[in-house]
Structure 1
Amino acid sequence: MEFDEYVAARGQQLVRLGLVLSADHHRAEDLAQTALMNAYRHWRRVRAMDDPHAYVRRILVNAYLATTRRSSSHETPSELDDVGHPEPDPSLALVEHDAMWQMLATLPTRERTVVILRYYEDLDYAAIATLLGIKDSTARASVSKALASLRAAHDPAEGHNR
């Protein structure tokens, strides 16, 4: 597969993963672009892999995790005034799930990442562990802890019953 074919087939999927991880459309595009730039530099080697998309997805996840660790990445964009050429808001499709996305955003970076990889990307625990460079049991424990936090945030009374 040539690089442009890969981008046409998987580019939007990478942007969606970036959006779910970062909850910011512009940052999601930056993450996808970073992953694709890094993959392009080594494309001959990447396309020879068993699963090139897994490698590019790992680049994107690592880029996201790296930006959350940097102190300079704590920028908060200000609201833009209406500039006369409104773009469709990509988050409108997520309105039904807004409460869940807000709760996901409250999770620590690692927990949010493992939940998204498990339930949004539908990866098994072994794949998550490989992608993040952690043990299988750590991936399971992180998902379990994150889900418990989400349950407690959704129903505070349930968190006290445990």
Structure 2
Amino acid sequence: MPSWDAPPSFEDYVRDRHRELLRFAYLLSGDQHLAADLVQDALERTGMAWRRVQKQDDPGGYVRRIVVNRYLNRVRSLRRERLTDATPDVAHVDAEPPDGELWQAIVALPKQQRAVLVLRYYDDFSEQQVAAALGCSVGTVKSNASRALAKLRAALGTRDLDGSDV
């Protein structure tokens, strides 16, 4: 099988955007290792179609769309894993994030709602951009955001989402 050499423009893109993509995938998935896998998979797919993707207005949107789709469809990919009789090494557990209560509430949200919140409030996308990234209607984005924020408010009680007491 012949090897593939990345064009210099793709290497530059990865060098410039890799950290940003990892942060995005981490906020989406809540797991550093899964985030790294999602970004790696998205960049691999993007690299293979780089000539076509580069001609588009926003290659970053293309990559984020792949990350979101791979995250939302993760269950399908898990079916391909094979069980083994050997026990894996013990996993490293990172310290809890600074605002563990908020983070736990975010992790408890359904995947689609979490994806909407990350795209809308972390990446500062408009509702139309979120709808385009997720392949749904603007109304779906609005209802998912509303439901997610209501769940976060309920989970945090009297505490406001910015961390101050109400």
Shift of the 68–102 alpha-carbon distance from structure 1 to 2, 3 Å rule, reads farther
Structure number with higher helix proportion = 1
- 1:151 is aligned, of 143, 150, 153, to 153
Counterparts in 2 of 1:78-157, with a 5 A limit?
Answer: 80=90, 95-155=97-157
State the TM-score, normalized to the length of structure 2. Answer: 0.78
| 2:12 pairs with 1:20 | no
**Partner-residue secondary structure (3-state), 1:96:** coil
Q: CA deviation at 1:4?
A: 0.4
Query: Structure 2 regions of 5+ residues with no counterpart?
Result: 1-7, 81-87, 159-166
Moved beyond 3 Å, runs of 4+ = 68-73
Structure 2 residue aligned with 1:36: 43
What is the one-letter code of the residue matched to 2:127?
Y
Judge which range, 60-69 or 48-57, deviates more.
60-69
1:30-83 Cα offsets, whole Å, 9 max, x none, are 00000000000000011111111111111111111110466639xxxx88277x
Aligned CA RMSD, in angstroms, stands at 2.6
Show structure 1 runs of 5+ residues with no match.
83-88, 157-162
Does residue 66 of the first structure (1) align with residue 87 of the second (2)? no
Distance 1:81 1:3 in 2: 33
The CA distance in 1 between the partners of 2:76 and 2:110, in whole Å, is 11
Match of 1:47 in 2: 54
How many pairs were matched up?
Answer: 146
> 1: CA distance between counterparts of 2:20 and 2:107?
20
Q: Offset of 1:95 from its aligned partner?
A: 2.8
2:129 maps to a residue whose letter is A
Cα deviation, 1:133-156, whole Å, max 9, x if unaligned, reads: 111111011101100010001118
Identity %: 39
